[in-house]
């Protein structure tokens, strides 16, 4: 597929005035990295047409997981393959340290005042909140009270686990480590307890496989986010979310403008649109079930909170401390837990 980036690259290489029409087209577009799956589907269905309608900008989405976005931007050496990132906290820290973002001018965002304090900083904008806890099938097992319950029956024999590849997996395993004496930087107690019960555990899978395993009944308890729970419930799956007694976990997904972005002005319009009431409200509805951050958008009733302000009491993690350890954790989990 020929993308806008390819056209620009060709124009630069040829230095051709004859390609000026392609450059003119580029002024009405923005290239944005997006998570594959639900995020890509939602942004193609809602954000792209809204951006075209409001600002006559074509949205070119490039499906990439967070670590791949950072890797591609680093490899591009100042000529980023897209104008905007979408990242979770860990890769965001890595990208900041790598100098991959343009500094953000919040004055260019008309919706900045509609976001809770702290969601807009010099590097990006929080456009989606994620809330992580425990999901269970109420027809198969009673509601667990917390992380420790998952290590005894009736839950352990119906438990599905995944590793540190994702943000939700990493923060869940950190919280499990904490209840067994570990910490944000010491996950050994979690791995030790998991090894003890590993023969009883119903499923060990890749993060993307867990919703399917739950839906198929191969496991009835998992750690996941509210968006996954709402999506499965919308498909008719028996599933409920429980906030662990030690607290729910939260983190933000953020948008950023790439250093050297070809269409920085359009990237601002794209980010502003995603933070706006109309798009936030549409993303909140089924089948996408995003957790909104715009204060003018009502929260869905399935969330374990009545207002965004309550999220200030939820558990957050220091990714500057986690990032240096995470690759080792991924390797160890895969080596010791994979069946």
Residues with Cβ within 8 Å of 85's Cβ and at least 6 positions away in sequence, in order, are 33, 69, 70, 73, 95, 100, 101, 124, 255, 256, 258
Residue range 19-40: mean pLDDT, rounded: 72
Place of tokens 């307890």: 193
pLDDT computed for residue 146 by the predictor:
97
- Alpha-carbon distance 289 to 39, whole Å? 10
pLDDT computed for residue 14 by the predictor:
36
- Alpha-carbon distance 46 to 27, whole Å? 21
pLDDT computed for residue 285 by the predictor:
92
> What are the backbone dihedrals phi and psi of residue 210, each rounded to the nearest 5 degrees, phi first?
-60, -45
pLDDT computed for residue 6 by the predictor:
44
pLDDT computed for residue 338 by the predictor:
74
pLDDT computed for residue 212 by the predictor:
93
Mean pLDDT of the chain: 90
Q: Which residues pair with 204 in a beta bridge?
A: 161
Closest CA to 92 of 311, 273, 251: 251
What is the pLDDT confidence band of residue 165, given thresholds at 50, 70 and 90?
confident
Overall size of the chain counted in residues: 339
Closest CA to 274 of 26, 85, 105, 93: 85
Closest CA to 165 of 337, 335, 326: 326
Residue range 144-161: mean pLDDT, rounded: 97
> What are the backbone dihedrals phi and psi of residue 130, each rounded to the nearest 5 degrees, phi first?
-120, 135
- Alpha-carbon distance 128 to 88, whole Å? 10
CA 27 to chain CA mean position, Å = 29
pLDDT computed for residue 239 by the predictor:
97
With 90 as the cut, is the pLDDT of residue 122 above it? yes
Which carries the bigger pLDDT value, residue 91 or residue 302? Answer: 91
With 80 as the cut, is the pLDDT of residue 221 above it? yes
Mutual orientation of helices 167-179 and 188-197 as an angle, nearest 10°?
Answer: 90
What is the 8-class DSSP label of residue 209? Answer: G
pLDDT computed for residue 339 by the predictor:
57
């Amino acid at each position: 597929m020929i993308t806008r980036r390819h056209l620009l690259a060709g124009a630069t290489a040829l230095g051709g005035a004859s390609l000026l029409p392609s450059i003119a087209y580029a002024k009405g577009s923005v290239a944005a990295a997006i998570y594959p799956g639900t995020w890509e589907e939602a942004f193609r269905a809602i954000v792209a047409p809204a951006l075209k309608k409001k600002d006559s900008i074509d949205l070119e989405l490039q499906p990439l997981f967070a670590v791949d976005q950072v890797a591609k931007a680093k490899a591009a050496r100042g000529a980023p393959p897209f104008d905007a990132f979408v990242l979770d906290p860990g890769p965001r820290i890595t990208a900041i340290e790598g100098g991959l973002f343009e500094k953000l001018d919040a004055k260019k965002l008309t919706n900045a005042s509609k976001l809770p304090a702290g969601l807009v900083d010099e590097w990006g904008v929080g456009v989606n909140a994620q809330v992580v806890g425990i999901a269970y099938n109420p027809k198969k097992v009673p509601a667990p009270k917390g992380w420790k319950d998952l290590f005894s029956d009736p839950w352990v024999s119906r438990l599905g686990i995944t590793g540190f590849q994702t943000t939700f997996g990493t923060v869940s395993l950190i919280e499990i480590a904490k209840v067994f004496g570990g910490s944000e930087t010491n996950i050994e107690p979690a791995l030790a307890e998991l090894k003890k019960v590993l023969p009883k555990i119903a499923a060990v899978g890749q993060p993307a496989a867990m919703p399917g395993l739950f839906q198929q009944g191969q496991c009835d308890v998992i750690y996941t986010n509210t968006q996954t729970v709402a999506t499965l419930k919308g498909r008719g799956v028996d599933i409920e979310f429980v906030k662990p007694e030690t607290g729910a976990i939260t983190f933000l997904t953020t948008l950023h403008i790439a250093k050297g972005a070809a269409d920085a002005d359009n990237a601002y319009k794209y980010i502003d649109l995603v933070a706006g009431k109309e798009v936030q409200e549409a993303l909140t509805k089924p089948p996408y079930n995003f957790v909104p951050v715009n204060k003018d958008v009502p929260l869905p009733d399935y969330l374990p909170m009545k207002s965004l302000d309550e999220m200030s009491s939820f558990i957050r993690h220091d990714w500057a401390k986690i990032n240096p350890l995470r690759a080792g954790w991924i390797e160890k989990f895969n080596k010791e837990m994979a069946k």
